[in-house]
Amino acid sequence: MASRNVIILQLRNPVGKEEPLPVLRVYDDIHMLRLKRAFFEDTLQQAARVENADIKIAVAPPSRSIWGKDAIASLAKRFPEERAFTNLAARTEIIGQGVAPIEERAAENLSMALAAGYKNILLMSGYVPTVHAEQLAGALEYLSKHPIILGPTIEGGCYLVGLRADCPEAASLVSIGTDTSYRDSTEALSKKKLKWQEIDLSYDVSHQEDIEFIVREINHARITGDEEIGLCTESILSEFMNEPERKTQASINGRKRSSNED
């Protein structure tokens, strides 16, 4: 443990085939995997920029550890002059987990961080590509005043939970990753008479509306001069959304060639 603070990125369990995202007009398993990896790399990029915080990447199943290794290498290549990325491998641990229910994995990851001696813990989804490092640093700062914080999603889940070491009993009460995790967490905390503080509303990519939210966030960032936030996600979405047009044009060109040959 090199820091008092830790940010844990918890990647969602795969369920059968990669679940499609309806906003995309053309998709298959390969498209979904590429898109999710883009979500993750963009999220990791911002988490890595938070000073004085170790990084843990919790993946299930363990075979997806390669996502963490590839993203770390990609970021070091993209930002060779930025210390946040050149030393990212040294301050990051990749944890392979069994495909247990996501709320059980949340409790496991929080308990692991408490056992390791961390004082301030952020557990968040690995699929929040437009989150800003400043938001995450602010969440850690909130923990100096509030022992439990919750980051609600538009659908009623949580994209982030924060826990201070002096409130270990909350580790088994909060969760992320489902559309009911905010309600489940607040009901469990209320029963134990534990108080929490909400932070900014955001998303954890799992619905069409989340993609639309991401596109708006990225467009706003570009208008305000931020050329880095969500860059991998923007690139992949642009590629996939333009694919039907390319295929249609290729088909038209093919018909033209056939007509000319006739």
pLDDT tens-digit series, residues 163-196:
999 999 999 999 998 889 999 999 999 999 999 9
Domain boundaries, the chain: 5-261
5-261 — its CATH code?
3.90.550.10
DSSP 8-state code for residue 21: -
In this model, does residue 23 exceed pLDDT 50? no
Residues with Cβ within 8 Å of residue 90, at least 6 apart in sequence:
none
In angstroms, rounded to a whole number, what is the distance separating the alpha carbons of residues 257 and 87? 54
**Phi, psi of 180, deg, nearest 5:** -120, 10
Q: Summarize pLDDT for 48-72 with one digit per residue, the tens.
A: 999 899 999 999 888 889 999 999 9
- The answer to whether the beta carbons of residues 207 and 148 sit under 8 Å apart is no
pLDDT-wise least confident of 24-38, 113-127, 146-160, 201-215: 24-38
Residues with Cβ within 8 Å of residue 59, at least 6 apart in sequence:
11, 65, 67, 68, 94, 95, 96, 97
The single residue listed with the structure tokens 């290794």 is: 69
**DSSP track, 98-151:** ----HHHHHHHHHHHHHHTT-SEEEEEES--TT--HHHHHHHHHHTTT-SEEEE
